[in-house]
Structure 1
Amino acid sequence: MDAGDIRSAYLKFYAARGHTPIGRASLVPRSDPTTLFNGSGMQQLLPYLLGAEHPDGNRLVDSQPCVRVQDIEEVGDNRHTTFFEMLGNWSLGDYFKAEQIPWFWEFLTEVVGLDPSRIYVSCFAGDESNGIPKDTESAAIWQALFEAAEINAERVDLGTEHDGGELGNHGARIAFYGGKNWWCRAGAAEAMPVGEPGGPDSEVFYLYPDVVHDGAYGKFCHQNCDCGRYIELGNSVFMQYVRTEGGFATLPRKNVDYGGGLERIAAAAIDSPDVFRSSLLWPIVEQLSTLTGKSYDTHTTAMRVLADHLRGAVFLAVDGVLPSNKEQGYVLRRLVRRATRFAFELGVEENFLHKVVPTIADLYRDAYPELADRHDEVVAVLVKEEKAFRQTLRRGLRELVRMSDRLVTGDDLFVLYDTYGFPVELSVEEARSSDIALSEHWRPEFERCMRVQRERSRAANKMHL
């Protein structure tokens, strides 16, 4: 099954179980000023998870495009992307763990056809300080499913900080973690604002046994190890708590909030640990190879960055984002400029985005026809930004190289930003990749320069009033 087949099969699977398909939300939240982008399928459903009645009922399913900018520095490995599709299903006070866990197991093993012996899971170890118990219920459901498949279902409690030392190199089938298996938008229970929902979750991982564990991530490998042997496919959040002034209370009803990475499931379906070989990314990589004459095997990082960033930029432009120096527009600008910078590594020194956008639109022609419908508009937005940055890119890179014989300060980075239009993050990445020494105080130095510039701008504006 390719990614399109999996998306379609997922929506049909849950529709057959009483779920109403709902349309995708814009990447830019329309009624949530606390976040720049929709980074999960649940964001548009927050009022309903808190108890409001959804017009389409209490069982919902969708596939939601998402952007998570916090992963931008990770792009280049085999699994992180800033843009991805999240398969989602929800129960708003209807079914709970006893239905959700077996359904997801059935979808992965019987519909997608994944090897059940390579599936590993994690559950919540509990939080005594907040009166939230260990999730032995989910673990028991998983254990029954594994045993029915004649798979040993050993459990181990790793706590919050454990590195997996008791697991050996193959791991227990069910691992209990603390904060890693508590889901909320704030990232941790103690960081949740009052009124925010959250709950224990159960994550599902797929083991790639041929991937060699990297000891830099701990002595032993385990489900939440970041070495790439275990890749998370999906996460069932059992959202039943809400943060209060005094701690936590139960929500009016128990909810299921599932989110799973379409690209990661599609990669598992072809037995590849590399999501860029899935059918939603590989055609972009192939076109980049054709345009540049370079091989994915020899220029892996650059092609991964380009494929991810261009796909994200296209979707942002489709949803009305324009390049700017603020908020969503700054992210779009940064994606295009990083892509342009990495294109230089592939020898592309002329505008090329207009050649890639049609490929991306064609990949989503059936699922998201708006990409093809707004093709010309999107190309115009992205090419304009590409052209503007390419004009200063060479000069900026040359200037950074000139600085390489000394310690580069935040003041230097501000010159690159102010004169050459380099996002400061891009300058920092370039310096680090080229082993150019950076001042350990570059950030406060840069921010000081920015404050001085803003003060000058305000003073100038007053003079003209």
Structure 2
Amino acid sequence: MTLDEIIRTFLDQYHRRQHTHAPESSLVPPAGDPVLFTTSGMHPLTPYLLGRPHPGGRRLANVQRCLRTTDLDEVGDRTHLTVFDMLGSWSLGDYDIATSLRWGHELLTEGFGIDPGRLHATVFGGDDQVGPDGTALRTWTGLGVPVEVNGAAENWWSNGPTGPCGPDSEIFVWTGDGPPTGTPGTDERWMEVWNHVQMRYHRHDDGRLTPLPHVSIDTGMGLERLELVLTGGADVFAGEGLRPWVDAIRERWPLGGTERRVVADHLRSAVVVLGDGVRPGNTGRGYVLRRLIRRALTLLWRDDPGRSLADLPDEVFAATGRRFRQQPDLPVLRTVLADEERRFRELLRRGRPLVDRVRGRGPLTDRDYHWLHDTHGLPRDLVDALLTEGG
């Protein structure tokens, strides 16, 4: 399946189940939202999970572009991305978790043709505040899917330290050769593709949980991970959405596999963030964007400081805009990237002698890192890159 076919299959399943389309939101949350970026499909729906009636009704589905920086250091492996598409479905106080799991199993096995024997589920086993999720456990057992029972660290979902939260049930698919072995907790070849969350509680500042006005179901499935499962690819970077970037980088610059994947992810993510109106800066969203661009440039310039983002073709930028349902202004986008590249070159020019001087006194301490950052604007990862560069 192509990405568009995967999306259509997903949405058709839920439209047949009377779900209406929830409009996609920007990566930039509305004013007053404390979160820098939209991190999940549920984030824009938080007021409705808390009880406000949604104009589209009680059953919703959509595709939402998301950005997460919590996994930034894991980007470059086979599954993690900074910006990605999330397929989502919601029951706002309508059907229960058992129904959601049964429909999910049906979609994966019948709609997408995944062998039921390649599935494994995890469920919440309870803690000192909430009991075990017996409904999810019984539902999976009845469907013949093996289950691993976990604590809150693995099977409790929240969008932050406070706000709506609840137990979740994650669906994993076996991606190894041969028959499945072990469990998701013991074998990394089990890859998570879909999470079904019961939004049952509101967590307060003091850690208390109080019931929400109604129990909602929030599901989220990463599009690129699902594509990997369906195509049997080696990693998400071989998929339709990342391949243009990987190919363009490979054709121009000889990088190692991990470095090439990180550069592809960070540049693609920067293009999407720019497409939603963010510009590089020293704080907040602008700093996240700046860090993505500069991390990519740090890897590109490690062997050849003469490399430039201007060498990339227009098509990778345009394809990313289409993929994430944006209409980027390519001349403006290129101007912003060129300006950021110029600024970074100047920062490196000024930073090298500073780092060399501090290093001359011995190994850098946390105090040295803080001084270089707070006084001279040199973040820790850049300092480490300069240290590596200098041997």
Relative to the length of structure 1, the TM-score reads: 0.76
Relative distance call for 1:304 and 1:242 in structure 2 (3 A) is same
- Structure 2 unaligned segments of length 5 or more: list them: none
Partner SS state of residue 166, structure 2: strand
Which residue in the other structure is 1:271 paired with? 232
| Aligned counterpart for 1:175 among listed residues 140, 145, 148 | 148
**Matched residues in 1 for 2:98 and 2:173: separation?**
22
Which residue in the other structure is 2:37 paired with? 37
Which residue in the other structure is 1:377 paired with? 332
- Structure 1 unaligned segments of length 5 or more: list them: 147-152, 154-172, 187-191, 214-219, 437-465
Which residue in the other structure is 1:261 paired with? 222
- State the Cα distance separating 1:333 from its structure 2 match: 0.5
- State the Cα distance separating 1:337 from its structure 2 match: 0.4
- State the Cα distance separating 1:390 from its structure 2 match: 2.7
CA displacement, residues 355-378 of structure 1 (integer Å, 9 cap, x when unaligned): 25631431442650423xx22222
**Matched residues in 1 for 2:92 and 2:240: separation?**
32
| Aligned counterpart for 1:329 among listed residues 280, 286, 296 | 286
- State the Cα distance separating 1:394 from its structure 2 match: 5.9
Partner SS state of residue 280, structure 2: coil
- Is the 1:236–1:257 Cα contact (8 Å) retained in structure 2? yes
Partner SS state of residue 137, structure 1: helix
Which residue in the other structure is 2:158 paired with? 184
| Aligned counterpart for 1:242 among listed residues 188, 198, 202 | 202
Partner SS state of residue 312, structure 2: helix
Which residue in the other structure is 2:105 paired with? 105
CA displacement, residues 359-405 of structure 1 (integer Å, 9 cap, x when unaligned): 1431442650423xx22222222221122213443664576467378
**Matched residues in 1 for 2:207 and 2:375: separation?**
51
Q: Show the 5 A alignment for 1:298-309.
A: 299-309=256-266
| Aligned counterpart for 1:359 among listed residues 307, 316, 329 | 316
**Matched residues in 2 for 1:307 and 1:252: separation?**
43
The letter for the 1-side match of 2:118 is R
The letter for the 2-side match of 1:379 is R
Partner SS state of residue 325, structure 2: coil
- Is the 1:275–1:281 Cα contact (8 Å) retained in structure 2? yes
| Aligned counterpart for 2:345 among listed residues 364, 385, 390 | 390
Of structures 1 and 2, the larger Rg is shown by: 1
CA displacement, residues 76-117 of structure 1 (integer Å, 9 cap, x when unaligned): 211122211111110101112232112211222222222221
- State the Cα distance separating 1:430 from its structure 2 match: 6.1
**Matched residues in 2 for 1:18 and 1:398: separation?**
63
The letter for the 1-side match of 2:277 is G
Partner SS state of residue 236, structure 1: strand
**Matched residues in 2 for 1:252 and 1:52: separation?**
9
Which residue in the other structure is 1:349 paired with? 306
- State the Cα distance separating 1:434 from its structure 2 match: 7.3
Task: Give the aligned length.
Answer: 387
The alignment yields a C-alpha RMSD, in angstroms, of: 2.8
Relative distance call for 1:344 and 1:256 in structure 2 (3 A) is same
**Matched residues in 2 for 1:82 and 1:355: separation?**
20
Which residue in the other structure is 1:231 paired with? 191
**Matched residues in 1 for 2:192 and 2:310: separation?**
32
Which residue in the other structure is 1:408 paired with? 364
| Correspondence 1:338 to 2:295 | yes
CA displacement, residues 316-366 of structure 1 (integer Å, 9 cap, x when unaligned): 111111111111111111000001011124646232256256314314426
**Matched residues in 1 for 2:390 and 2:342: separation?**
28
- Is the 2:272–2:324 Cα contact (8 Å) retained in structure 1? no
**Matched residues in 1 for 2:274 and 2:348: separation?**
22
- State the Cα distance separating 1:419 from its structure 2 match: 7.9
CA displacement, residues 407-438 of structure 1 (integer Å, 9 cap, x when unaligned): 1134543565478753223324665x6797xx
Partner SS state of residue 45, structure 1: helix
Q: Show the 5 A alignment for 1:107-256.
A: 107-127=107-127, 129-130=128-129, 132-146=130-144, 153=145, 173-179=146-152, 180-186=154-160, 192-193=161-162, 196-210=163-177, 222-224=183-185, 228-243=188-203, 247-256=208-217
**Matched residues in 1 for 2:216 and 2:74: separation?**
31
Relative distance call for 1:74 and 1:8 in structure 2 (3 A) is same
CA displacement, residues 178-226 of structure 1 (integer Å, 9 cap, x when unaligned): 111111123xxxxx43xx2211110011122249x9xxxxxx963145x
Relative distance call for 1:360 and 1:8 in structure 2 (3 A) is farther
Moved >6 Å (runs of 4+): 433-436
CA displacement, residues 415-463 of structure 1 (integer Å, 9 cap, x when unaligned): 65478753223324665x6797xxxxxxxxxxxxxxxxxxxxxxxxxxx
| Correspondence 1:284 to 2:245 | yes
Which residue in the other structure is 2:46 paired with? 46
- Is the 2:92–2:214 Cα contact (8 Å) retained in structure 1? yes
| Aligned counterpart for 1:312 among listed residues 266, 269, 274 | 269
Q: Show the 5 A alignment for 1:11-30.
A: 11-30=11-30
**Matched residues in 1 for 2:369 and 2:208: separation?**
44
Which residue in the other structure is 1:91 paired with? 91
- Is the 1:29–1:38 Cα contact (8 Å) retained in structure 2? yes
Relative distance call for 1:357 and 1:333 in structure 2 (3 A) is farther
Partner SS state of residue 223, structure 1: coil
Q: Show the 5 A alignment for 1:445-460.
A: none
**Matched residues in 2 for 1:378 and 1:275: separation?**
25
**Matched residues in 2 for 1:183 and 1:356: separation?**
40
Which residue in the other structure is 1:170 paired with? none
Partner SS state of residue 365, structure 1: helix
The letter for the 2-side match of 1:174 is V
| Aligned counterpart for 1:422 among listed residues 371, 378, 381 | 378
**Matched residues in 1 for 2:383 and 2:207: separation?**
45
The percent identity for this pair of structures is 37
